[in-house]
């Protein structure tokens, strides 16, 4: 018999039950055990340390709502309960809140505990993701800066066009006051003044949105979620890129269901759309014929919005399709892309409780995105 197949008598100075209790108590992972309704019946010291509780007595008898954060979409909790109630282990990333109100980022694994085949409770293992989240935020901000850099020409147009109009209207109004004896048309003067106001409001909107989008999210605070309409998300996404796309002969086709509300981080969701639009724009370079980007969205199942984004820029080779969401994978030339856009987009969609998939057919690329919908008023989420 091989030496590693020889059975040895374990040298354990305590009984098995005591050993298991000490392993539970002294584990580095935060561990909690609940009954089948989610009521906490046992937590270890790592759990207390992670969530800044002084003793088990503060949490036992409570549900996990005691650490729930409004920055985790409700769809994730629904998916979690649906999974564990079916008897399957659930794994995912969550934002929670410690006793002192600070944000805690964890990778959570929840497994059913059974007796005679029946689920009698659940065991959760939480891994602190604080450092990983900081790195992810740095990557996300870097990707936003790359996207903003590619918007330069479009941003210049968005400011130059209203500026040119404002200048002409302001000169007309100036001439009226310089030559008061000259007859002039009051309705035309009023129209010129309104044009100036409209131009200034347009520039104000562009600049405010630019500042919002380029702002770096706090390193320790939670991600800000809000309730927004799908139309608002798409409109804001085209704010910088619309003229740039159309100047390249790219037609935009929208078919969006109205009165659809989403919950999430506004700039993150917008970044997903920016990444898709930027990829399509670059893929159309050198292409002849019609250039079309179409975005359609429908609620084809309860509580879910299905978005179909497609272009006819030539598609993606089949052997590369499975790699498109991998970090640093890109089909662009050196120095023309980071390869992070789609990887970050996928992570954003998943953290919003959704899914994203890609296919290529008939000379085009299609992205299928599913996101949870919400009600117009959701007190758990704010700007």
pLDDT at 369: 94
Higher pLDDT pick, 144 / 191: 191
Contact predicate 124/32, CB 8 Å: yes
259-274 residue pLDDT tens: 888 888 888 888 888 8
pLDDT at 232: 86
pLDDT at 341: 77
Higher pLDDT pick, 365 / 177: 365
Domain 134-374: which topology?
A: Heat Shock Protein 90 (3.30.565)
Average pLDDT over all residues of the chain: 81
337-350 residue pLDDT tens: 556 778 888 888 98
**DSSP-based three-state secondary structure for 15:** coil
H/E stretch holding 291 reads strand 291-301
Contact predicate 156/131, CB 8 Å: no
Q: Determine if residue 263 is left, alpha or beta; phi over 0 gives left, psi from -120 to 50 gives alpha, anything else beta.
A: beta
CA-nearest of 108, 56, 106 to 84 is 108
Q: Find the range with the poorest average confidence among 108-112, 300-304, 370-374.
A: 300-304
> What confidence tier does 288 reach under pLDDT thresholds 50, 70, 90?
confident
Which residues of the chain form CATH 3.30.565.10? 134-374
pLDDT at 4: 62
Greatest mean pLDDT range, 15-29, 32-46, 118-132, 242-256: 32-46
H/E stretch holding 299 reads strand 291-301
Helix axes 230-237, 266-283, angle to 10 degrees: 50
Q: DSSP label at 115?
A: E
Cα–Cα dist 344/325, whole Å: 8
The radius of gyration of the chain's CA atoms, rounded to the nearest angstrom, is 27
Integer CA distances (angstroms), 157 to 17, 170, 338, 349, in order: 72, 20, 26, 31
Question: 13-128 maps to which CATH number?
Answer: 3.30.450.20
Cα–Cα dist 77/188, whole Å: 58
Q: Is the pLDDT of residue 323 over 70?
A: yes
Cα–Cα dist 253/270, whole Å: 18
> What confidence tier does 90 reach under pLDDT thresholds 50, 70, 90?
very high
* For residues 52-73, average pLDDT: 87
> What confidence tier does 293 reach under pLDDT thresholds 50, 70, 90?
very high
Q: DSSP label at 221?
A: S
Which residues of the chain form CATH 3.30.450.20? 13-128
Higher pLDDT pick, 352 / 214: 352
Q: Is the pLDDT of residue 153 over 60?
A: no
pLDDT at 365: 92
Residues in the chain: 383
- pTM value? 0.57
Q: Is the pLDDT of residue 281 over 50?
A: yes
């Amino acid at each position: 018999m091989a030496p590693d197949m020889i059975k040895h008598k374990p040298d354990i100075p305590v009984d098995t039950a005591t050993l298991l209790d000490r392993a539970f108590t002294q584990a580095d992972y935060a561990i909690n055990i609940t009954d089948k309704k989610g009521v906490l019946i046992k937590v270890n010291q790592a759990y207390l340390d992670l969530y800044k509780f002084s003793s088990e007595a503060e949490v036992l008898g409570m549900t996990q709502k005691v650490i729930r954060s409004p920055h985790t979409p409700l769809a994730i909790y629904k998916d979690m309960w649906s999974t564990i109630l079916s008897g399957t282990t659930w794994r995912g990333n969550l934002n929670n809140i410690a006793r002192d109100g600070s944000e805690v980022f964890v990778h959570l694994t929840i497994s059913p505990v059974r007796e005679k085949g029946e689920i009698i409770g659940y065991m959760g293992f939480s891994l602190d993701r604080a450092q990983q989240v900081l790195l992810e935020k740095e990557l996300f901000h870097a990707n936003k800066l790359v996207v903003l850099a590619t918007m330069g020409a479009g941003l210049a147009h968005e400011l130059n066009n209203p500026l040119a109009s404002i200048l002409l209207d302001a000169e007309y109004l100036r001439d009226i006051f310089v030559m008061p004896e000259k007859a002039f048309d009051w309705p035309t003067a009023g129209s010129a003044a309104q044009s100036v106001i409209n131009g200034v409001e347009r520039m104000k909107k562009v600049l405010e949105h630019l500042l919002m989008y380029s702002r770096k999210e706090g390193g320790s605070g939670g991600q800000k979620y809000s309730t927004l309409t799908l139309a608002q998300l798409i409109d804001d996404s085209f704010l910088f890129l619309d003229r740039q796309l159309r100047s390249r002969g790219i037609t935009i086709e929208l078919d969006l269901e109205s009165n659809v509300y989403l919950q999430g981080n506004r700039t993150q969701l917008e970044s997903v759309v920016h990444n898709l639009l930027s990829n399509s724009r670059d893929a159309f370079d050198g292409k002849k014929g019609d250039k079309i980007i179409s975005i359609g969205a429908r609620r084809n199942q309860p509580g879910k919005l299905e978005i179909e984004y497609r272009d006819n820029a030539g598609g993606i080779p089949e052997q590369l399709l499975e790699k498109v969401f991998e970090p640093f994978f890109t089909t662009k030339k050196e120095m023309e892309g980071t390869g992070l856009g789609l990887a970050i987009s996928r992570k954003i969609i998943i953290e919003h409780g959704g899914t994203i998939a890609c296919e290529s057919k008939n000379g085009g690329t299609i992205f299928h995105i599913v996101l949870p919908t919400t009600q117009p008023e959701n007190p758990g989420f704010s700007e």
